Structure 1
């Protein structure tokens, strides 16, 4: 085994179809996928994943985004799918309870009524999968979306750097779960990856998973800080071995956030883990996904690499704040042939 890997010493149709029904936010069993129980840390399996060909991944991404063109009614249907896969997010230093209430109101009614009528949605509800907030606003979000089927996600563990003592980070998870969050987005200390301290990283994530209880665990790798696709792949595998329900690219605070080559490396790690264990792991790109066109690129990647099951909110999410506005603008253009100003699409 190489010294670098060894642990360091000391929609695709024009007709919009209803999404699978989901139970009320914060109720038991709100996710349909059998949860990943994790597995023992297997350094041999990790060793088999260490060879990552950046050039090949970049070529593959180039073919995906160039040869797949989604137009007209098909594009509208795929954009509605994008809305249903969003974690609608506000993670600003000036967040307030009122701002979070407005975000939740937008999640409950993401499209103007005239757009839903023109698209012929009828009784079909198209809503984001979750709202994502800081811990102090979890209770507020839970109150507003209760009974809607929209999940409440809390960023946790000293977000965005993850450098607080482990006991503090675990207590933050427990506090968010106690307030009603049913999804927890945690960050890893990136230094554990650089030091190849795989056992320590595994143990920390395993304790985070235990602190989550029934809430689902989304592990943020901070890929923009990890320097290489090899680090991204190995960190992805350790997170899944430790019991992650989702692996997530970024906090949105790094200088480089979600990119398609990084996403491809992560989804191929998900595929390898599924082939090894039989468990389906979710994927969440976040940071810099602000246009409808970019969201379609990600949907194509998921469909081509992992298949149709990964186009459901139980297995794929966008971490997004401004994406919804651009999707609304594109849908209005689809209906009217004209682009509208951003202010016509109210947002928090």
Structure 2
């Protein structure tokens, strides 16, 4: 995204908001959104969680889940060697089966970006075209407690080092205090920091940390705020706070991106992260995406799973399905 496109993005936000994106204008807009029926939302998620897929579709679903995973290591003890091992797993998830698809991306701290890119080599590229992207967490992940200058420097360095995607965290304290203008400005300025010297841009995933937002209404407002400010993806969680991703929360965020698309024609991605560990759970998310946003969202530039342990379970289920050594209980079973 170029500077001109960013300017147009901000102009559109001003037009939709009916004024400059300050606290007053944003409060009027965000609090004017329809409230969330929590009981209805959770019941819809529960109903979708029981939807069936046939055995023949399960093989496709498992392949698709692998190709939508952001394989992640975000620990203080991360080393270049650990990142190289992560990349090796991303490129060849099942060492016994070279037909297994690659994951969508590896997600690392910013200082590990060069090591990830070096390890990927020629495979570094667009996951929609068979490559593997490099995502970097930024903006004082996971707390977001840093000055804006530090957040922008964090982002700019990761982009300069070759990151394809930036996963930023919002200032939850500012949001909960009603300082919506500050949150909007930080997202918009991080978006500008994602622009590379050649005019292209890293994709921006905005982490809401839904477990700290307390209510579905807040999650809905934060989702709209992030999109208005320029998010390419809205992401549930850092994975460091519980609860992390839940099906009702993800369903709500999918409704927001669906409504945004209906209003503007623009598609925004969704990334549930943290706590999705089994194939059964991941298939429920796929069904929900297809039902709420549409099947066109089931591709890497519009939907991701932020997970590490999930991949191992998907590979186990994939092998069982291929060999016939599985039971219906391993999957979403209602046909």
What TM-score, normalized to structure 2? 0.85
- Total equivalences in the alignment: 297
Match of 1:53?
Answer: 37
Q: 2:259 aligns with which of 272, 275, 284?
A: 272
CA distance in 2, matches of 1:49, 1:333: 46
Q: How far is the alpha carbon of 1:332 from its aligned partner?
A: 1.3
- The aligned counterpart of 1:180 is 162
Shift of 1:94: 1.5
Q: Following superposition of structure 1 onto structure 2, how do residues 99-248 of structure 1 map, counting pairs within 5 Å?
A: 99-113=82-96, 115-116=97-98, 121=99, 126-148=101-123, 149-213=131-195, 214-248=201-235
Q: Cα offset for 1:48?
A: 3.6
Q: What RMSD over aligned residues (CA atoms) do the two structures have, in Å?
A: 1.8
Deviation readout 1:32-53 (Å, 9 max, x if unpaired): xxxx935325245433424111
Show the 5 A alignment for 1:69-108. Answer: 69-108=52-91
Question: Are the aligned partners of 1:50 and 1:234 in contact in 2 as well (CA < 8 Å)?
Answer: no
Q: What whole-Å deviation, never above 9, does each CA across 1:147-204 have from its counterpart, x for those lacking one? A: 2121000001000010111100110000101111010000011012211211111111
Q: d(CA) in 2 for partners of 1:275 and 1:69?
A: 27
1:112 shift after superposition = 2.9
CA distance in 1, matches of 2:83, 2:250: 29
Partner of residue 346, structure 1: none
Distance (Å, rounded) in 1 between the aligned partners of 2:180 and 2:62: 39
Q: Which residue of 2 aligns with 1:24?
A: none
- For residue 54 of structure 1, report the CA deviation from its aligned partner: 0.6
**Conserved? CA contact 1:85–1:128, under 8 Å:** yes
Write 1 or 2 for the structure with the bigger share of helix.
Answer: 2
Q: CA deviation at 1:135?
A: 1.1
State the alpha-carbon separation in 2 of the partners of residues 133 and 193 from structure 1. 26
Kindly indicate whether residue 20 of structure 2 is the aligned counterpart of residue 37 of structure 1. no
Structure 1: distance between partners of 2:306 and 2:314: 14
Q: Deviations over 1:76-112 (max 9, x none)?
A: 2101100000111111122111010000011111123
Q: Is the deviation greater in 41-50 or in 169-178?
A: 41-50
Distance 1:254 1:109 in 2: 30
Preserved contact between residue 86 and residue 130 of structure 1 (Cα < 8 Å): yes
Unaligned stretches of 5+ in structure 2?
3-7, 18-25, 124-130, 196-200, 327-335
Detail structure 1 runs of 4+ shifted over 3 Å in the superposition. 36-39
* SS of residue matched to 2:239: coil
Unaligned runs of 5+ in 1: 1-27, 30-35, 340-348
Instruction: Write the distance in 2 (CA, Å) between the matches of 1:275 and 1:336.
Output: 43
